[in-house]
């Protein structure tokens, strides 16, 4: 019902209903005296855009936006063509419509940057600049951006191509050079925002960066990019659905809660549903349909996942991730590294294949990149169910790991099938992973781990039911390795035949029952046992 009402009542729906008639009507005069198309339509060609892919069309596009804003709002229309642009400045009550065959192209700048023309300046450094990287701290140096706006949208079947944007990783043009842009779309402190149906190719550091943006709908996007796809930072009431993101070199869909606004603001009330994420293809080949497999070095594997973190000052509250497919990428991650409170998280109905890191990575630690005096955060009340994972890398099982004195707590995992490649040696089984209380949180941070299915450390109140751990090749490691866990309750656990079930040390209130091939057992305290 909501979708039908939106299409009928929104500017997008009205546009679809009467687009052809409106665009062929005689231009009339807006209140400010500039020509525009009828019925609130502002065709960028009417304002001088050529769409030839060579001429810089930014002045014409921004004039169309200004005229629409002066008229009280409207739709800025991009007909078929390639519009080479630098910074497009959004305004409130504006919809950009990218027609079939329309491309907004991020124009190039010299490798050394430019002091005349190019993208808008990034803005002055902030006192909290060191708490996030450059890309998170600046917004105007983008292809499309806005600050403090309301009721804005970008819709239609067209393409945003960030060919001239910096990825922000030291290459030329460097993101911090004058006149250089490094994001396709960046919004700050906005509300009532909708993105529908367009595609992004090569989005720079961020295809979409939203910081302090509330009431957001992102639906039906296709993003094929060379770093992050969608970053949702310090935002409230966000719906991401029906999107496909290929991001081989960074995260696909990434809620964050940084200190980029100058204070710790949580990301909360977020749903991510019916999405496909991958890092397995050369960027661009998902959009063109060739799906060319990406080749990686041993030191850097595919990313392309859904992750809450790593920036985690404000926390994550009431997040639901459901009905998503992970393909040739890292697994799902929840990370509190900088004092974040993560609570009331529901993760369900995920299909995962060919993962290069842990299928599930829950990490509470104390990197503490933020103002001094903040205590480590918490992860609690997380429900994970109906997960199928196959062909995951052998070295990294699923991880639930806090730090000494700060436990992850209240985690329920049910109806889960986790198949790893297996083949772990007896040497792997005897490893003693380092604590790594600080540093960058990543599944590979402890090195190869001494478990086939789950590595558990510094946790409280863990409940597993109907969980199967499988391995393609015989694995010498135990299915579950646990250290400093208060309350480990397992029902109907299945493990590979011939493998040890548990390696436990300093585990309290342990129970395992109803499992095939395993005897029921409970214990108030286990100092150190393996069986």
Provide the CA 340 distance to its chain's centre, in angstroms. Answer: 17
Looking at residue 173, what is its pLDDT? 85
Looking at residue 517, what is its pLDDT? 86
If we measure between CA atoms, which residue out of 111, 110, 109, 104 comes closest to residue 145? Answer: 104
Looking at residue 10, what is its pLDDT? 43
Looking at residue 299, what is its pLDDT? 57
Residues near 403 by beta carbon (within 8 Å), at least 6 away in sequence: 364, 365, 366, 376, 435, 437, 458
Query: Which H/E stretch holds residue 212?
Result: none
Contact 463, 413 (CB under 8 A): yes
Domain boundaries, the chain: 1-319, 330-531
The CA-atom distances, in angstroms, between 467 and each of 164, 456, 472, 482, 514 are 47, 15, 17, 16, 12
Looking at residue 39, what is its pLDDT? 75
Query: What burial letters (b/e) apply to 221-239, b meaning 16+ CB within 10 Å?
Result: bbbbbbbbbbbbbbbbbbb
Looking at residue 445, what is its pLDDT? 97
Looking at residue 298, what is its pLDDT? 60
Q: Measured between alpha carbons, how far is 38 from 104 in angstroms, rounded to an integer?
A: 23
Contact 363, 441 (CB under 8 A): yes
Looking at residue 523, what is its pLDDT? 98
Rg for the chain, CA atoms, rounded: 25
pTM (2 d.p.): 0.93
Q: Measured between alpha carbons, how far is 124 from 65 in angstroms, rounded to an integer?
A: 26
Where would I find the beta strands (DSSP E) of 354-501?
Answer: 360-364, 378-392, 398-401, 408-422, 454-473, 480-494
If we measure between CA atoms, which residue out of 224, 255, 222 comes closest to residue 237? Answer: 255
User: What tokens does 173 get?
Assistant: 């043009």
Q: Measured between alpha carbons, how far is 70 from 94 in angstroms, rounded to an integer?
A: 11
The hierarchical CATH code for the domain 1-319 is 2.160.20.10
The β-bridge partners of 348 are: 322, 385
Per-residue pLDDT of the chain (531 residues; tens, 9 = 90+): 333 343 344 444 444 444 434 443 444 343 333 445 667 999 999 999 999 999 999 999 999 999 999 999 999 999 999 999 999 999 999 999 999 999 999 999 998 888 888 999 999 999 999 999 999 999 999 999 999 999 999 999 999 999 999 998 777 889 999 999 999 999 999 999 999 999 999 999 999 999 999 999 999 999 999 999 999 999 999 999 999 999 999 999 999 999 999 999 999 999 999 999 999 999 899 999 999 998 876 656 899 999 999 999 999 999 999 999 999 999 999 999 999 999 999 999 999 999 999 999 999 999 999 999 999 999 999 999 999 999 999 999 999 999 999 999 999 999 999 999 999 999 999 999 999 999 999 999 999 999 999 999 999 999 999 999 999 999 999 999 999 999 999 999 999 887 899 999 999 999 999 998 899 999 999 999 999
Looking at residue 246, what is its pLDDT? 98
């Amino acid at each position: 019902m909501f979708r039908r009402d939106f299409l009928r009542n929104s500017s997008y729906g009205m546009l679809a209903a009467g687009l052809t008639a409106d665009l062929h009507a005689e231009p009339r005069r807006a209140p400010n005296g500039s020509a525009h198309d009828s019925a609130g339509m502002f065709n960028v060609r009417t304002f001088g855009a050529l769409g030839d892919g060579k001429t810089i069309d930014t002045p014409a596009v921004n004039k169309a936006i200004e005229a629409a804003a002066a008229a009280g709002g409207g739709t800025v229309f991009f007909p078929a063509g390639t519009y080479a642009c630098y910074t497009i400045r959004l305004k409130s009550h504006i919809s950009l419509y990218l027609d079939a065959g329309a491309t907004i192209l991020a124009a190039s700048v010299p490798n050394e940057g430019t002091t005349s023309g190019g993208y808008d300046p990034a803005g002055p450094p902030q006192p909290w600049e060191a708490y996030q990287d450059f890309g998170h701290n600046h917004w105007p140096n983008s292809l499309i951006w806005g600050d403090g706006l309301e009721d804005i949208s970008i819709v239609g079947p067209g393409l945003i191509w960030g060919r001239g944007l910096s990825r922000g990783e030291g290459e030329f043009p460097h993101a911090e050079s004058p006149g250089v842009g490094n994001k396709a779309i960046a919004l700050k402190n906005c509300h009532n925002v909708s993105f529908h149906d367009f595609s992004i190719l090569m989005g720079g550091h961020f295809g979409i960066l939203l910081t302090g943006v509330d009431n957001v709908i992102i639906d039906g996007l296709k993003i094929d990019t060379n770093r992050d796809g969608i970053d949702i930072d310090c935002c409230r009431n966000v719906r991401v659905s029906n999107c496909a993101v290929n991001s081989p070199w960074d995260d696909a869909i990434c809620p964050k809660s940084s200190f980029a606004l100058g204070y710790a603001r949580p990301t909360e009330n977020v749903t991510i549903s019916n999405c496909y994420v991958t890092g397995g293809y050369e960027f661009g080949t998902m959009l063109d349909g060739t799906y060319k497999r990406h080749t990686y070095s041993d030191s850097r594997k595919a990313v392309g996942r859904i992750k809450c973190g790593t920036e985690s000052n404000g926390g994550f509250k009431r997040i639901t991730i459901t009905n998503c497919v992970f393909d040739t990428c890292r697994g799902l991650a929840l990370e509190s590294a900088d004092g974040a409170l993560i609570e009331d998280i529901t993760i369900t109905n995920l299909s995962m294949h060919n993962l290069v890191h842990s299928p599930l990575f829950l990490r509470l630690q104390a990197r503490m990149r933020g103002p001094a005096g903040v205590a480590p955060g918490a992860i609690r009340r997380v429900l994970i169910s109906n997960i199928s994972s196959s062909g995951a890398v052998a070295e990294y099982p699923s991880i639930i790991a806090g730090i000494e004195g700060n436990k992850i707590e209240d985690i329920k995992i049910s109806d889960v099938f986790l198949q790893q490649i297996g083949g772990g040696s007896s040497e792997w089984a005897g490893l003693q992973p380092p604590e790594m209380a600080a540093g960058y949180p990543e599944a590979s941070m402890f090195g190869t781990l001494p478990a086939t299915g789950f590595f558990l450390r510094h946790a409280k109140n863990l409940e597993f039911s109907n969980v199967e751990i499988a391995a393609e090749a015989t694995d010498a490691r135990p299915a579950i390795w646990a250290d400093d866990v208060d309350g480990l309750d397992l029902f109907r656990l299945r493990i590979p035949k011939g493998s040890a079930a548990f390696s436990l040390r300093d585990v309290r209130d342990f129970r395992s029952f109803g499992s095939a091939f395993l005897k029921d057992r409970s214990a108030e305290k286990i100092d150190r046992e393996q069986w």
